[in-house]
Structure 1
């Protein structure tokens, strides 16, 4: 009688990542059962109401009910992102596995170490993220709204909770519309991940480890994140393309939320001013982690993307700007984000 073959361990222990990330993230602010119920209901309603506002402002037509809206707690957000990361990094993991087989024992031990690292990262982010569109969830993505974080920030900023919840929904619903109204966007993003996986050199894990050590040793004298320091020139070229795309998406969402805001949110100016201050980081440790993890670059994406969108829309109008969604070649490069006129000349 043959013994059934045991499944091979993965390179990342995802369940360990979920457990550690959920523990680090914690539960969030103390709320009563009624307050929690009201927050969840209001976020669901805000996301639904935002669809028409985004469509009217942008001209983008997203099919109805293509991507579900999930209002989650911090642990739910951590689990959802482990599922998304597992999908996103699968080409990368497969590429590394082809380069070198570390053996079952080494792989099992390494997967737990990596799982703990991923869990630690997600645990930290799980206390910060207000909402997120997950484009990799089959078949059309899903919108996640993190209720305890929304409540925490609205209290921290001392703003009107009803206005703030709708403001957050406008931003995140814009991302849902971007990916569902522009069907090629999801596959294009995943193709960039596959391209990045294909750039791994023959050194595989050894090469990556050496570059990681070099990045850490030289971290103090560089203005970039660890991710940037780890990148080869070929990988950096791909990352520049992804940066241009993500800056467009984030900046576009910021422009929409502030453009729609005055007509439906009475305190939008106060919310924006206080929220921008919060984005700078609230303490030394928070600022350090943001810098090391590249979250400072994330903040720059909002600013650069919003400036680009506003400049183009001011020059040619929203209808002409929407040419950016016609095909991947029309996405702005990282350089064009700082030179909107160059994008207008090339695309329009």
Structure 2
């Protein structure tokens, strides 16, 4: 049984997504070539600075346009949601076929619309979940950069294109280094996401209550409230799991921001100007744009960058990079949500009395 009509999600997303900035064929070719080159350059800077090493061979970043990003994310969603799909299919009381068919199409349109919105904003990402490679030779993850969004952002910000592209690559390459250099991290995130999905309350009355709550949240956010749909549709057990997921993603996102800004001054001459302008851009947008960001929890993600970067800065300042890297020892050494806000507590629990910074 299909929970989401994935083909319809792709069709809807690619139909609704706005076109990228106007560029000539030569400008597009140059941007793609430079992003591939800079992703390799950035990886070297990141590995040297973070002291995270991996046996994984360097891979050139995959450069996509907005429709390409939508298609790639649908592939990832299918992999992530497979456990939930299997559970629904094997349920003793599956929903009627007509309900499943209609529901999957409605959900497919909704997913496509959300992806169309996000596809104009994402600069890049490390794709953790790819369809399995039958040969076993392809890497388990993939670094993707969205060329039209990077070009659009550098134009809007009026910053040096080469510097901005390298700055973006530093952040995204940090994620590749994290998930290829820390052997257990990908499986930990995957298992938490699977547990989150399988903790869903799938009975009809509960779903109706959740949908009613979601409608109330939409109305509240439009009036200026602070709610988001992610909080509304969770069960209590899912909230516990999401706390763990939020903590680890705050860590990896904050680590990415910390690295890009720490490495930046030595390789990105205009990094201070870029950071200042980019911070303003994150907070900007129309009222509709800000409303949608709140509903989807994107504003929470922006908060993650700041909180995670503050945690990393404080720990590195106290214990040096090698002391901070003990965070990657096992799931037990990851910071809790409380420790993200109180780095000293993490240092006491994991390191004890830290050594002087390197």
TM-score (norm 1): 0.94
- 1:271-324 deviations in Å (ceiling 9; x for gaps): 000000011131111100000110110000000000000010001101010011
Tell me what 1:57 maps to: 49
Tell me what 1:318 maps to: 321
After TM superposition, the structure 1 stretch with the greater mean CA deviation from structure 2, 68-77 or 156-165, is 68-77
Tell me what 2:212 maps to: 213
Tell me what 1:153 maps to: 153
Partner Cα distance (2:110, 2:45) in 1: 40
- 1:183-232 deviations in Å (ceiling 9; x for gaps): 2111111101121133223x535412321212322552863321112222
Two-structure CA RMSD over aligned residues (Å): 1.6
Tell me what 1:79 maps to: 71
Tell me what 1:188 maps to: 188
Q: Decide whether the 8 Å contact of 2:217 with 2:227 is kept in 1.
A: no
Partner Cα distance (1:39, 1:102) in 2: 49
Tell me what 2:135 maps to: none
Q: Decide whether the 8 Å contact of 2:217 with 2:228 is kept in 1.
A: no
Q: Give 1:260-279 correspondences, 5 Å limit.
A: 260-279=263-282
Tell me what 1:47 maps to: 39
Tell me what 1:3 maps to: none
| SS in structure 2 at match of 1:102 | coil
| Aligned partner (choices 333, 336, 349) of residue 333 of structure 1 | 336
Partner Cα distance (2:59, 2:107) in 1: 31
Q: Decide whether the 8 Å contact of 1:130 with 1:149 is kept in 2.
A: yes
Partner Cα distance (2:61, 2:158) in 1: 26
Q: Decide whether the 8 Å contact of 1:66 with 1:180 is kept in 2.
A: no
Tell me what 2:172 maps to: 172
| Aligned partner (choices 235, 239, 257) of residue 236 of structure 1 | 239
Tell me what 2:101 maps to: 108
Q: Decide whether the 8 Å contact of 2:171 with 2:260 is kept in 1.
A: yes
- 1:125-144 deviations in Å (ceiling 9; x for gaps): 00000000001124420000
| SS in structure 2 at match of 1:317 | helix
| SS in structure 1 at match of 2:144 | strand
* Structure 2 unmatched runs, 5+: 133-138, 352-358
| Aligned partner (choices 251, 255, 271) of residue 254 of structure 2 | 251
Partner Cα distance (2:210, 2:330) in 1: 35
TM-score (norm 2): 0.91
* Structure 1 unmatched runs, 5+: 1-7
| SS in structure 1 at match of 2:283 | coil
| SS in structure 2 at match of 1:123 | helix
Tell me how far 1:83 sits from its aligned partner: 0.4
Q: Decide whether the 8 Å contact of 1:69 with 1:144 is kept in 2.
A: yes
Tell me how far 1:160 sits from its aligned partner: 0.4
Tell me what 1:128 maps to: 121
Counting matched residue pairs gives: 339
- 1:69-114 deviations in Å (ceiling 9; x for gaps): 2000000000000000111111223334426411222211111110
Q: Decide whether the 8 Å contact of 1:130 with 1:168 is kept in 2.
A: yes
